[in-house]
A and B are shown apart, each in its own frame.
Chain A
């Protein structure tokens, strides 16, 4: 059941994020980007298989975990994704702030020909 429920949560995160990205507003766009980032991370997390087993840490004294542990690989991927997501947010933020300064607007529809 948790899979279905979380899938629904992911869908809501994406829908809200996409909607915000389509608003003609810089700030809303960035919030939307953040929501989609969460959605994507949760997607990998859910698709890799949920479990309530032990965290992937080898206890002191043994070289191989004795009890079943959660698959560590998706976690490594998501960890990377979280950090990269943060970098992306920071960059987009700086970009938009500069664009706002240059264009004199925070309306994305008016930023059509900034590459000239």
Chain B
């Protein structure tokens, strides 16, 4: 299974190379990868359907319990099949859709990468691994949405999708880590084995909430739904693949996956049902305001995702089965409709449904596929969508609060199915200019095969999807595979009555399309107050904050930097003193001798002198006095080495400063007295803080002194009598080496700078 996941990444990496030799044909070759994967997953079907879980483990980073562990059960297999099969259809479609685009191979490459990441998400056994692949899908989605990167809209939409799902991803990471810690294992197999125990865990609400935010943002649940319609800026193959049939279902997958361990509680049922219903209604309401093919489809995708989350929330055996079958049916018809929408726009250059019509003459095959998919979406009998809808209705009939939104959304599905899938092909109000052609075979293959799937699922649901759906539902419920009897026609039952009612209302709505659109456009201003606006405001706020803090903190004024650093230091110092309540207690008390007194006085005078000096030479001289007196203090307190070094450095420094200062024109403070006063206050505060800190440092001895060790071993081990020197060149030789290196670099840089300067002078 590792190879199955990795093959996509490898293919994505090799594709640019292949493209160089084969040109656009390389895309068709790339399609062989998902095709092979589809076949491979199909061969696993019989084993998985019998309840077996295929596992593959290889070690990656055992130190942090991160294994390349993959597992394939019914649920994973359902997703894996969808991902690889639709991938195999979308890639050839892309080769025709982006025909002539020099960056086609990049798009296909990103699509393959996405496919591999998505397979990783649904096959991972390790929670951390799952998260890594989860983030990779967000990242590849970013690449695909922003494919037309010259367009500002695309860039914005790509960034939005990345930020929203990325933010959700952070929540998810926190949630998964908490979950893994609570379960004592990061392996899904282990976690799933310990079902029931986690729902009673103390942190249950916390990690459930975090994981839900992650899953909801990925699956475009309200209030995170807004990124999905905006993501329609992506080229149509990406919309069909990522943003309708696979990636947006990652959140649904995660919820389904964790259902056995997290599900069944009040919080789970409440949140999932509520958010699901809310999303359902939001999607439906917003869709009615749309006139563009892809945006219409996008909002119904939002609604459909709401459906699935809601059904998982209900969590009964029936609801879970309904969710699975609905997911399959939705993937088939929605991907097909997207692909046809892409064909329409590709051939006519028109995306506004109000101006499309009469296309059946020009493209009969695409039209037929579109009608089949639309019929499935509307849920007409003998279509896969019908079977799914019957199951959905059956599982929500006894819950009125859920049933009514479900009917409302289905109603909308009828309406949108007509507008997107049927109306463009009907003769009538068309003024499509020019003569569009039938799409090339590579583009038609996808809709045709998906259309056949819609029909097969409608006529022979049990044979087509029964076993797969049953094993997926069993995996979601964490139980043995139970019987699932899918039938094309159940006879007259309450759900078929509800279905008929929906259809009739839907058809009535179709005839009132004009009114709908008017009502919809009246509601359009409402959309502006949605979370999209909050997102924009947040983004703007963040930018303003960044600009503001840069202006204040990174002003480029050295003076201000120094002041900020000093004040921050003083502030932290005062804060820590206030919190600990400690003041210097002066437990060390060396008597003050006259030489020390005089030297200290001289140092202070020197410091003040260099501060107020008006000429360069006197300032350097004052600094020299300070250095000289400091070295005498070293002498007084038993540090002759320091004194000698200090004296040498002082002499060198004085020479350096004097010769350099000759080149500087002025030596005066450029500030007016207000500025001087302010700086003086800051400087005095800083000095005061340092004095207090020194006094407090005198009181603490964090670790026992190791002076005796050096004293005892200096001669024996270091073969030297000057202990300070032995420490420098022997005990801490590596430190000294580092220091010498630093010094060498500083010297070399200084020389380089001066050379540069001289070269500049010579030029001028």
Q: Which residues of A contact B (CB under 8 A)?
A: 1-31, 34-35, 38-39, 41-43, 45-47, 49-60, 63-65, 69-73, 75-76, 78-80, 82-91, 93-95, 97-98, 100-102, 106-109, 111-113
A27 B619 Cβ-Cβ under 8 A: yes
Q: Mind listing 18 A-B residue pairs with CB under 8 Å?
A: A1-B589, A3-B695, A5-B592, A17-B607, A18-B682, A19-B680, A27-B619, A28-B619, A69-B711, A70-B639, A71-B705, A72-B723, A76-B728, A82-B646, A91-B746, A106-B666, A108-B558, A109-B559
Interchain CB contact (< 8 A) of A3 among B589, B688, B715: B589
- Give the residues in chain B near A71, CB-CB below 8 Å: 705, 707
Given A16-B610, A31-B610: A45 and B707 interface contact (C-beta under 8 Å) = no
- Give the residues in chain B near A109, CB-CB below 8 Å: 557-559, 670
For B, the interface residue count at a CB cutoff of 8 angstroms equals 106
- Give the residues in chain B near A94, CB-CB below 8 Å: 749-751, 753-754
Given A13-B607, A46-B694, A97-B753: A25 and B666 interface contact (C-beta under 8 Å) = yes
Given A9-B603, A23-B671: A64 and B711 interface contact (C-beta under 8 Å) = yes
**B626 close to A (CB within 8 Å):** yes
A93 B750 Cβ-Cβ under 8 A: yes
CB A27 to nearest CB in B, in angstroms, measures 5
Give Cα A9 to B661, complex, Å.
27
CB B740 to nearest CB in A, in angstroms, measures 9
Which stretch in B102-110, B174-182, B627-635 binds the other chain? B627-635
A98 B607 Cβ-Cβ under 8 A: no
Interchain CB contact (< 8 A) of B638 among A21, A53, A78: A53
CB B550 to nearest CB in A, in angstroms, measures 13
Per-residue CB proximity of B575-619 to A under 8 Å, as 1/0?
A: 000000000001011111100110010011001101100001001
Interchain CB contact (< 8 A) of B633 among A12, A42, A101: A42
Top 9 A-B residue pairs of the complex, sorted by shortest distance between their CB atoms? A15-B687, A11-B691, A112-B556, A94-B750, A70-B638, A47-B697, A19-B683, A87-B746, A1-B592
Interchain CB contact (< 8 A) of B750 among A4, A84, A90, A100: A90
Give Cα A4 to B692, complex, Å.
9
**B660 close to A (CB within 8 Å):** yes
Give Cα A108 to B556, complex, Å.
9
CB A8 to nearest CB in B, in angstroms, measures 6
- Give the residues in chain B near A84, CB-CB below 8 Å: 739, 742-743
- Give the residues in chain A near B756, CB-CB below 8 Å: 98
CB B490 to nearest CB in A, in angstroms, measures 74
**B668 close to A (CB within 8 Å):** yes
A64 B712 Cβ-Cβ under 8 A: yes
Give Cα A65 to B713, complex, Å.
10
Q: Given contact pairs A11-B687, A16-B611, enumerate 20 new A-B contacts (beta carbons under 8 Å).
A: A3-B586, A3-B695, A12-B687, A16-B608, A18-B686, A19-B611, A19-B679, A21-B558, A22-B563, A25-B669, A46-B694, A49-B588, A50-B637, A54-B638, A58-B714, A60-B721, A69-B707, A84-B739, A94-B749, A108-B557
CB A102 to nearest CB in B, in angstroms, measures 7
- Give the residues in chain B near A30, CB-CB below 8 Å: 657
